[in-house]
Chain A
Amino acid sequence: MENVAEAQKSLREIKTRGEFLERFLKFSFGFWALFAGLLFPILAGVILLYEARLAIEKFGFINFLTYTNWDPVQEDFGAATMIFGTVVSTILSMLLATPVAIGIAIFITELAPNWFKPIVSTAVELLAAIPSIIYGLWGFFILTPIMATKVEPWLQDKLGDIPLIGKLFQGAPTGVDVLNTSLVLSIMIIPFMASVVRDAFNMVPPIMKESAYGLGATKWEVIRQVVIPYTASGIAGGLILSAGRALGETMAVTFLAGNNPQIPKSLLEPFTTITVALANQFTEADTDVYLSALYYVGLLLYLVSLTMLGIAKFMVLRLEKRWKA
């Protein structure tokens, strides 16, 4: 009798220990899930908002967005130049990168022979793995001199006389300008964009493509009329996702932009972006208002990139849902 009671007791002990572990682990796993997905994003936003409060009070919202003066000495700050620079370099790099990324995705999914696919895929993935400061360093030491002495004078020579377009290529070609920055930024986001688009392309059910081929469509017609329409929301999502990345990219652009707080009048003028201003000025900010103004532009960047990435995620998810259904 005694043995049975003892056995029951130890069994109960094991059970309570098991249940305790069960609850303890669920709780700690859950905490980090909650932290990663909810607490930290909110905490980061609150900290940025709190640090920016001085500047928000002093400069307001609309006024801060539209004011082009950035003067640390007079403590007079407006973010228009940085916002303009961020938007322009992002849009330009997207224009340069999008056709290439879609072309690479088409090449990998539809065109390359099977033995060649992993080579291109790996090359693109390696390009994505290179740290962004390497892009910046390479752009600054290798690409900038070539842009300044060869490419930009050539562009000025060929396009400088055309009305309207010519205006974009005025100024002294230095290589530290909007054009070069956008080019390096575009090289940086091509691999990321290409892999998102490739994943979307792979989600097209083979039967849809086969039926189009069966009707006598050529390869390009299948891509143009079946693959791209089917994956449109995925492609759009991938593009916005890449734009979100380009928006927050710091090290690739910080050597090339020139950190000059002005609205560039042409593609060959130095400018600044939100991230460039943060990287260059944060440690120099000697007054509370100055630092607070920097936090304010950081907060704007945070909100804009979260919104854009959220929209992109939603669009990609829509394609995935259709794929599963």
Chain B
Amino acid sequence: MSRKTLRKLFSNFMLFVSFLTAAYGIFWLFWILGSLFINGFKYLSPGLVYLDPTPPGEEGGGLRPAFVGHLIITSLATIMGVPMGIMAGIYFAEYGRNSKFFMTLRQITDIMVSTPSILMGAVVYAVMVRPVGHFNGFSGAVALAILMLPVIAITTDEMLKLVPKELREAAYALGAYKWQVIKDVVMRAAKVGIMTGVILGVARIAGETAPLLFTSFNNNVLTFDLRDPMASLTVTMFNYVMGPYHYWHQQAWAAAFILTMAVLLLSILAKVLLHRNLLEPLFYIVRSITGKKGG
């Protein structure tokens, strides 16, 4: 065999290996999603959403407090975290671009995205739970909002960076204030991108467990009072998986299924928003059926 064919063979072999690794990655995805579908679907029932949990050991019941609590905590965290994050992101992109100090802060914010989320729970516990004396739903929302802040700030910054400089300059040339440029030009141009960042941020915190373990804790009774401990799907799953009862495990599977589907749908929605041409074929079909132009 000539040296050339050997080199080619070796190259093809290595590329085959890289193909195998991709297959390995996808294999786990299918396995995890597959078992979620099979087990989650099997134990899914409408009662899961509207029934309260039964006393431990007694079959049946549902996870109503967890569903309600999860929605409350996540929405509250979003309401708090999104404005903070967008404001920080705007500053990094529009005011701090030429300041070394703020560019360093931006990098630190980027690092904060990856810090262990359980520590945020511990920090919030020290400030908001121990002084009050008991776990409360509000502290859980604060912990999640703090986790969300850097995610939103960084994506906002990235999206604003994509807005062409000329757009801003044209507005400045007309005598606009900086906040007018931001509000009417930059934000309008980056609207979809920022939306995407917000959705990704929500998807990120919706699946968080660790920061809620010692802040909002858990509750077997439905509550809307943010001063009380509040159940969430993830913490309930944590307790149910560790618990001894078989029906707890089944309910944990069903909850896992619903949570994963919600998070994945959010991620896909974000991706579609960002690459709207993915939907182009669909629009084309709709147009050809309705016979309308544009869209």
Which A residues are closer than 8 A to B by beta carbons? 18-19, 21-22, 25-26, 28-38, 40-41, 43-44, 47-48, 50-51, 99-104, 106-108, 110-112, 120, 122-127, 129-138, 140-142, 187, 190-191, 194, 218-221, 223, 241, 244-245, 247-251, 254-255, 275, 278-279, 282-283, 294-295, 298, 301-302, 305-306, 309-310, 313, 317
The interface residues of chain B lying within 8 Å CB-to-CB of A190 are 25, 28
- CB-based contact A44/B119 at 8 Å: yes
B252 / chain A contacts, CB cutoff of 8 Å: 137
Chain A residues whose CB sits within 8 angstroms of the CB of B119 once the complex forms: 44, 48, 248, 298, 301-302
Q: Min CB distance, A233 to chain B, in Å?
A: 15
State the Cβ distance, A198 to closest chain B Cβ, in Å. 11
Q: Complex: how many Å from CA A50 to CA B122?
A: 12
Closest chain A residue to B267 by CB distance? A129
User: B179 to chain A: which residues have CB within 8 Å?
Assistant: 18, 21-22, 25-26
Q: How far, in whole Å, are A159 and B182 apart by their CA atoms in the complex? A: 64
A131 touches B242 (CB 8 A): no
B11 touches A219 (CB 8 A): yes
Residue B71 lies at the interface, judged by CB distance under 8 Å to chain A: no
Judge whether A134 and B256 touch: CB under 8 Å. yes
B47, CB-defined interface residue at 8 Å? no
Chain A residues with CB under 8 Å of B102's CB are 33, 37
> Can you offer 18 A-B residue contacts whose CB atoms are under 8 A?
A18-B177, A25-B179, A30-B91, A31-B87, A40-B149, A43-B123, A103-B24, A110-B18, A127-B28, A131-B263, A133-B207, A138-B256, A187-B28, A218-B10, A220-B15, A250-B117, A251-B210, A313-B110
B14: which of A31, A137, A220, A255 is its contact (CB, 8 Å)?
A220
Q: State whether B120 touches A220 (Cβ < 8 A).
A: no
Q: CA of A50 to CA of B146 in the docked complex: distance in angstroms?
A: 20
Q: Which of B10, B11, B91 has its CB near the most chain A CB atoms (within 10 A)?
A: B91
Shortest B126–chain A CB gap in Å is 5
Given the known A-B contacts A18-B177, A251-B210, are A220 and B25 also in contact in the complex, defined by CB atoms under 8 Å?
Answer: no
* Residues in A neighbouring B180, C-beta threshold 8 A: 18
Known: A134-B36, A141-B249, A302-B115. A35 touches B241 (CB 8 A): no
Classify chain B: how many residues form its interface, as a range.
35 or more
Which residues of B have CB within 8 Å of A140?
Answer: 241
Q: Enumerate chain A residues within 8 angstroms of B104, measured Cβ to Cβ.
A: 37
- Is residue B35 contacting chain A, with contact meaning CB distance below 8 A? yes
Residue pair B263, A36 in contact (C-beta under 8 Å)? no
Contacts of A250 in B (CB 8 A): 116-118, 209-210
Contacts of A134 in B (CB 8 A): 32, 36, 207, 256, 259-260
| Docked-complex contact B177 and A137, CB < 8 angstroms | no
Chain B contact residues, majority secondary structure: helix
CB pair A123–B178 under 8 Å, yes or no, is no
Q: Are A32 and B213 in contact (CB under 8 A)?
A: no
Q: Which 8 A-B pairs have the closest CB atoms?
A: A131-B207, A248-B116, A103-B21, A37-B105, A218-B11, A220-B11, A33-B91, A29-B91
Instruction: Tell me the chain B residues, 91-144 only, with Cβ under 8 Å from chain A.
Output: 91-92, 94-96, 102, 104-112, 114-120, 122-123, 125-127
B213 touching A132, Cβ below 8 Å: no
Complex CA–CA separation, A125 to B126 (angstroms): 35
Known pairs A99-B21, A141-B249, A248-B117; A123 contacts B153 (CB<8 A): no
**A129 is contacted by which of B39, B115, B203 (Cβ under 8 Å)?**
B203
**Does any Cβ of A come within 8 Å of B20's Cβ?**
yes
Q: Do residues A51 and B210 form an inter-chain contact, with CB atoms below 8 A?
A: no
B22 touches A218 (CB 8 A): no
User: What is the minimal beta-carbon distance from A272 to any residue of chain B, in angstroms?
Assistant: 14
A251 CA / B179 CA spacing, docked (Å): 42
Q: Which residue of B lies closest to A216 (CB)?
A: B4
